[in-house]
Amino acid sequence: MLIFRLKKQLYLLPIALFIYLGLFLFTNHHQVMAMDNKKHYIKNKKTSTDIKKELFNLLTNKKELEDKIHYFRNKKQVNLYERDIVLKLEIEHNELKSKISEIYKNNSKMSKVTFNLKPLIKIIED
């Protein structure tokens, strides 16, 4: 009888320890070493919609700058003040072009999938 009670208690002990461990891990909110912090990753990662919005804004700004530059260039007489404005607009235009090209490069690196479809060529020497 005593052995039967002891076996029953030893049978329930791992189950109780497993439940206790599960509850402990479920309620533990502290970050463990080498645990990935998902919240930080999501905040820093730009989604494709954010990239598209940023690119759209940059392209519209670029178009507005091009229109302003063309307006000043098509004028028959341009004074020094307007010439300075055109130079500043061209500098801004070049900066926008470089930002747009960087976004295209970064986006193509993230979403680029390449396949090597060339067959293997074996060179046979006689």
Does residue 100 lie in a domain region?
yes
**Measured CA distances, 16 to 5, 11, 24, 96 (Å):** 16, 9, 12, 64
Does residue 99 lie in a domain region?
yes
The answer, yes or no, to whether residue 3 has pLDDT greater than 60, is: yes
Does residue 105 lie in a domain region?
yes
User: pLDDT-based confidence at 94, cuts 50/70/90?
Assistant: very high
Range of the domain at 73: 46-110
Question: What is the per-residue pLDDT across 33-71, written as a single tens digit (0 to 9) for each?
Answer: 555 555 555 555 667 788 888 888 999 999 999 999 898
As a whole number, the mean pLDDT across the chain is: 76
Does residue 22 lie in a domain region?
no
Q: Count structural domains, the chain.
A: 1
Does residue 81 lie in a domain region?
yes
Share of the chain above pLDDT 90, in %: 17
Does residue 40 lie in a domain region?
no
Does residue 102 lie in a domain region?
yes
Q: Give me the torsion for CA of 107, 113, 114, 117, rounded to 10°.
A: -150
Does residue 103 lie in a domain region?
yes
